[in-house]
Amino acid sequence: MAATRTILITGGAGFIGSHLVRLFVHKYPHYHIVNLDALTYAGNLANLQDIEQAPNYTFVKGDIRDQEYMQVLFNRYGFDGVIHLAAESHVDRSITNPLAFVETNVLGTVNLLNVARQTWKDDFSGKRFYHVSTDEVYGSLGEEGLFTEETPYDPRSPYSASKASSDHFVRAWYHTYGLPVVLSNCSNNYGPYQFPEKLIPLMINNIRENKPLPVYGDGKYTRDWLWVKDHAGAIDQVFHKGKDGETYNIGGNNEWKNIDLVQKLCDILDELLGHAAGTSRQLITFVKDRPGHDRRYAIDASKIRRELGWEPSIKFEEGFRQTAQWYLDNPGWLQQVISGDYQDYYKQQYD
Ligand code: NAD
Ligand code: DAU
């Protein structure tokens, strides 16, 4: 069957990207999905093993910063749409190596915008450039309030500054050149295939290994957690039904203080591992805080709910349990990603 649309997904071998690629490959058999990923430490083709033979799926190894190569790909495949997730995504790494974040998140995004515009040659009918961004661009909340689409940008880490900058460039291409763009800004995701540098998989892995659970500062920093498959579902809605030039906030309406979340995780894992109640909580260790640590994020997702009919599908307790169980059921995946470079990263970050 000839594909009715050819979609480029960047960063599809990463955490969220792999869930999105899988969703699109299954849900839209008449689309051709091309997954472009540089396979950095965070990209992993094992995340997509189950669909690698699908007839409507192609993986291409490449770097969004490489203008010539991106142009070759656009010419070869004739993309109708781009869903752009490729990024450096970890705040702690942005503190030790900010330049990598500028290069990929800012320059890489501008490169893609340029290539899309040059290829589509100002005939934008049926085209769409979707930029996937983060709630961190809005800065840090106090005890009260939620981020809306109108909240002024106030990024405070090199990561969020680079994402904020890329968002501005995407909007500039809309206003200046008429490129049909759409954006979304999402809260913290959790679920299978997340690299164990991020809070939840790092804690699960350390509980498995009976290692200290490093909680930054006073542990009262708050995040709004969303099941990754719900984020993929929201991206699907925004890509197909969102309006050009618009931004949609996506969140789980599910705020947790880090310390409460880590304790909850300890209790669930004690149960799943058959440990006595309270065993894993003894591993909790308060450590030096993250510099410039944002106190609280929380999303007002009423726009996407009202306009596109999207809502999170599962409750945190259930998503959390499924996530913990997935990591326990997939020790081979974990072992692969924590070998080699991860050990050096862990030492540098936590020792
Ligand atoms: P991730 O780090 O798991 O994956 C990023 C992917 O991008 C990896 O596969 C990596 O190989 C690839 N990549 C990195 N640099 C590249 C380059 N120069 N060229 C091509 N590919 C490159 O990230 P994630 O958590 O899946 O996040 C995906 C996107 O969603 C990012 O843009 C991030 O800012 C955004 N986001 C993430 C969250 C979250 O909670 N994880 C929340 C909101 C928004
Ligand atoms: O809000 C969306 C963002 O969520 C995404 O844009 C980012 O890509 C993603 O990494 C995530 O950023 P955070 O910095 O919120 O996620 P992280 O998992 O690194 O940390 C979550 C919270 O847990 C944060 O308050 C820091 C804290 N933390 C984290 C680690 C890794 C700890 O206390 N100890 C740790 O070891």
pLDDT in tens, the chain (351 residues): 688 999 999 999 999 999 999 999 999 999 999 999 999 999 999 999 999 999 999 999 999 999 999 999 999 999 999 999 999 999 999 999 999 999 999 999 999 999 999 999 979 999 999 999 999 999 999 999 999 999 999 999 999 999 999 999 999 999 999 999 999 999 999 999 999 999 999 999 999 999 999 999 999 999 999 999 999 999 999 999 999 999 999 999 999 999 999 999 999 999 999 999 999 999 999 999 999 999 999 999 999 999 999 999 998 889 999 999 999 999 999 999 998 899 999 999 998
Q: Is 225 in the pocket of ligand 2 (CB under 6 A)?
A: no
pLDDT at 3: 86
Choosing from 188, 235, 255, 262 the residue with most ligand 2 atoms within 8 A of its CB, the one to mutate for a pocket test is 188
Indicate if ligand 2 lies below 6 Å from the C-beta of 167: no
User: In ligand 2, which atom is closest to the CA atom of 92?
Assistant: 19
**pTM passes above 0.75:** yes
CA of 15 to the centre of ligand 1 (A): 7
Q: Which atom of ligand 2 is nearest to the CA of 350?
A: 36
CA nearest neighbour of 224 among 174, 186, 272, 259: 186
Q: Is the CB of 64 under 6 A from ligand 1?
A: yes
**Interval between CA 232 and ligand 1 midpoint (Å):** 13
For 269, counting Cβ atoms within 10 Å of its Cβ (0-12 exposed, 13-18 middle, 19+ buried), the class is buried
Task: Give yes or no for residue 83 CB within 6 A of ligand 2.
Answer: no
- Please give the pLDDT value at position 126: 96
Residue 150 corresponds to which tokens in the numbers above? 């109108």
Domains and CATH numbers, the chain: 5-191+225-256+293-317 (3.40.50.720)
Q: Which ligand 2 atom sits closest to the C-alpha of 219?
A: 33
Per-residue confidence (pLDDT) for residue 1, from 0 to 100: 67
CA 199 / ligand 2 centre spacing (Å) = 6
Please give the Cα distance from 66 to 344 (Å, whole number): 28
Atom from ligand 2 closest to the CA of residue 216? 33
pLDDT the model gives residue 2: 81
The candidate with the shortest Cα–Cα distance to 93, out of 4, 157, 178, is 157
Closest atom of ligand 1 to 43 CA is 9
Q: Is 90 in the pocket of ligand 2 (CB under 6 A)?
A: yes
In the structure encoding, which two tokens stand for residue 284, read together?
Answer: 């909790």
Q: Which residues are catalytic?
A: 135-136, 159
The Cβ of residue 194 has, within 10 Å, a number of other Cβ atoms equal to 26
Pocket test for ligand 1, best of 8, 9, 16, 166 (most atoms within 8 A of CB): 16
Output the CA 121–ligand 2 centroid distance in Å.
39
- 89 ligand 2 Cβ < 6 A: yes
Cβ 131 under 6 angstroms from ligand 2:
no
The closest alpha carbon to 253, from 340, 106, 147, belongs to 147
- Pairwise CA distance, residues 95 & 349, whole Å: 11
CB atoms inside a 10 Å sphere around CB 266? 23
Is there an atom of ligand 2 within 6 Å of 199 CB?
A: yes
Q: Please classify residue 276 by burial: count the beta carbons closer than 10 Å to its beta carbon, then call 0-12 exposed, 13-18 middle and 19+ buried.
A: exposed
Ligand 1 centre to CA of 16 (Å) is 7
pLDDT of residue 340: 80
Spacing, Cα 209 to ligand 2 middle (Å): 21
